[in-house]
Amino acid sequence: MLDKLGGLLGGNKVVAIDIGTSSVKLAELDSSRSGYQLKKFGVISLNPGWIRDGEIVEPANVAQVIQSLVESVKCKRKTASTGIFGNGVIIKRIQMQPIEENLMAEAIKWEAEQYIPFDINEAAIDYHVLNKGSVTAAGTTDVLLIGAKQEFIFRILEAVETAGLRCSIMDVSAFALANCFEANYGARPGATALLNIGAGVTNVVILEEGNVVFARDVIIGGQNYTMEIHKALGVSIPEAESLKISASLGQEVPNEVISIITNTTEQVVEEIRNAFEFYTATGGGNKPDLMFVSGGCIFIPNLVEELSKVLGVGFEVFNPFQSVTYDSKVLSAEYIQQIQSIAPVVLGLGMRGSKEK
């Protein structure tokens, strides 16, 4: 896993800030020999359009929301850990000739030009050697290459630091998701899929023996359902969102809404299936035998069941509190239940800087 991307390696006692498409989530964690404990948590909505495909379009407005969230949970920490996702980041497994560790960083820059779909001079590059010390049958080393648009990074830094925080860790949201999974479930044998289906982006991660071997952000999620309801029924976007939520809660809604949701699910499933097929087509290893699902959209009627059927993979709901505890003096069991589906990424970001020194 990587602790940084285009930023400084962080210290301990960070506040995690997960800037998503439709909301900002905040978490404070402490760690001890017994594991991680969540001390504070908060979430606040963002206006539509402020985040587009992972890019912060309105940094000043997002900064105000972050500042408001920090104040509302009475956060005292000033050092932040945050994540990057969407079109501004690419993660690719590549093969390289074995090379000394002190020469790897320079070699990666040359390799990256072949795979990064945007200007290499405007990208931050990082890497992670998989199964360090071993080589493939072809005599190569597997490396996970990560590239991120510097413009995306600068916008995130601007929003976080304008809110009065110092951003010391910039992680990839997909890796934060994997980090949270490992803290709760350990390294499962074989291949495991993680799907975090958010409002505008779905994080698809494949783990093999605990290592991230594939990660892709699919630009699709809950907003697709909202917009389809909005267009088909001619209702306002807030009304469309309300109808989607009502359907997700099992409440009575017009038959047209159920039909729209069913049709949109076909589109969502197809896009996620394409990501799985890309993993297989680009030298992916074992097919996952289980997927863990999270994100606010897992409650869309029949979405997860249809994904499981089409992908041919069983599923479980990702419980980020399976091993992570919480401060019951501050957070109730009912609240923890409410945030369970949206918490994995922000908890993973918080774990980056909460280890004891």
The pLDDT assigned to 357 comes to 36
The pLDDT assigned to 97 comes to 84
342: in domain: yes
* Planar angle of CA 222, 227, 58, nearest 5 degrees: 75
116: in domain: yes
CATH number (domain holding residue 303): 3.30.420.40
5: in domain: no
- Spatial separation of the C-alpha atoms in residues 237 and 200, rounded to whole Å: 15
8: in domain: no
The pLDDT assigned to 128 comes to 84
Amino acid at the residue 350 = G
207: in domain: yes
Which mean pLDDT values do the consecutive 10-residue runs of the chain (357 residues) have?
38 86 96 93 95 93 97 95 92 85 83 85 86 67 89 95 95 95 94 96 93 92 96 96 95 96 97 92 80 96 96 96 96 97 97 62
Q: What 3-state DSSP class applies to 4?
A: coil
89: in domain: yes
Closest CA to 220 of 241, 203, 202: 202
- The total of other beta-carbon atoms located within 10 Å of residue 289's CB is 14
* Count of domains for the chain: 1
The pLDDT assigned to 12 comes to 59
- Spatial separation of the C-alpha atoms in residues 331 and 321, rounded to whole Å: 13
252: in domain: no
Tokens for 183? 């803290």
Tokens for 322? 């399976």
Domain that holds residue 169: 15-225+262-351
Distance of CA 258 to the CA centre of its chain: 28
Long-range CB contacts for residues 328-332, cutoff 8 Å, separation at least 24 = 330/39, 330/40, 331/38, 331/40, 331/41
254: in domain: no
